[in-house]
Amino acid sequence: MKKYHVYGIGAALVDTEIQVQDSELQTMGVEKGLMTLVDEARQQELLDQLEGHLVHSKQASGGSGCNSVVAAAYFGAKGFYSCKVANDEFGEVFLNDIRAAGVDANFDDDRDHGQTGKCLVLISPDAERSMNTHLGISAELSVKELNEAALADSAYYYMEGYLVTSDTGRAAAIRGREVAEQNGVKTALSFSDPGMVEFFREGMAEMLGNGVDLLFCNEDEAKGWAQTDSIDDAVEALKAVAKTFAVTLGAKGALVFDGETLHSIAPYRVDAVDTNGAGDMFAGAFLYAISHGHDFATAGRLASRASAEVVSQYGPRLPGAAHTALRDEILSA
């Protein structure tokens, strides 16, 4: 029996969410629906332009991989997260939030001076999120942040696709995958963003290696990887790089492939106000379910229900108690 159900690696970010109009995105030169890496000056410039807007989450911890590990933990999984935070106020906020979820991390490491990463999340009226991320000290994430003993004692190793943008972060993710493969730990990767697939394809192929056990992506990312407009062709292409996978289809639900059968997962109808964290929640709920003996179809249903819940509220995470209610609703049915 492994100590951890999920070991994740990725950025440590604190999110600020602001509602905007599409016209404002255009005025500010923000690409809609994508994650864009920016420097601190550009992020501050955007904040200055948005002064006076309603801010829903002034200090909400984020980071794609962390959102997933925290969600899995609140559902009942034991998680570990490797990241890099600075010795500053935002770093303290971030670590306190994952502590509250019961997730282990490299808390005892000496934290370097610098700035913890921050993500400005702009929410447009159609609930789409456009992210402008200043990685701060997360850009320096490296193999030093890996805890190989904890990783080897885990059921799943989960890589955040955003790490592809950093040479040291990508190297850390790859080293973690190698440790996982040497110790019988199942490997999982999220493509994270269409831009990662489009602009960092070679690095993403390095992270995939000879293929992962489980891949998470959305429809745009799947088609982008396969370089096709056909979801059927994309599904076939994913089989070459992952033994199993889940493709989220937004309001159309999801497709999950368990290695033999492709399951169509029905959507749960909600009024979406903020899609930030939807894919992260899907992955976290799915990892919880399959690491607790549930089949892929059941895991897909829980993940679909949980991600529908997260888009119906502001912020990328749900309150802890909400996970228990969702788990009981789907898994006890």
pTM summary value: 0.95
What is the bridge-based pairing of β-strands 242-248 and 254-257?
antiparallel
Helix axes 278-290, 320-331, angle to 10 degrees: 60
The Cα 4–Cα 185 span in angstroms is 10
User: In a structure prediction context, what are the per-residue pLDDT tens digits for the chain, which is 333 residues long?
Assistant: 999 999 999 999 999 888 899 999 999 999 999 999 999 999 999 988 887 775 544 568 899 999 999 999 999 999 999 999 999 999 999 999 999 999 999 877 778 899 999 999 999 999 999 999 999 999 999 999 999 999 999 999 999 999 999 999 999 999 999 999 999 999 999 999 999 999 999 999 999 999 999 999 999 999 999 999 999 999 999 999 999 999 999 999 999 999 999 999 999 999 998 899 999 999 999 999 999 999 999 999 999 999 999 999 988 999 999 999 999 999 987
The Cα 112–Cα 158 span in angstroms is 25
The letter for the amino acid at 217 is: C
Running DSSP on this structure, what letter comes out for residue 295? -
The Cα 332–Cα 253 span in angstroms is 21
Q: What residues does each domain of the chain span?
A: 8-331
Alpha helices for 50-88 (secondary structure H): 64-75
Q: Alpha carbon of 21 to those of 48, 85, 92: distances in Å?
A: 16, 32, 32
The Cα 173–Cα 142 span in angstroms is 8
Class of domain 8-331 (CATH, top level)? alpha beta
Running DSSP on this structure, what letter comes out for residue 256? E
The Cα 120–Cα 104 span in angstroms is 26
* Rounded (10°) CA dihedral 57, 63, 69, 70: -20
The Cα 77–Cα 87 span in angstroms is 28
The Cα 190–Cα 82 span in angstroms is 16
The Cα 165–Cα 11 span in angstroms is 11
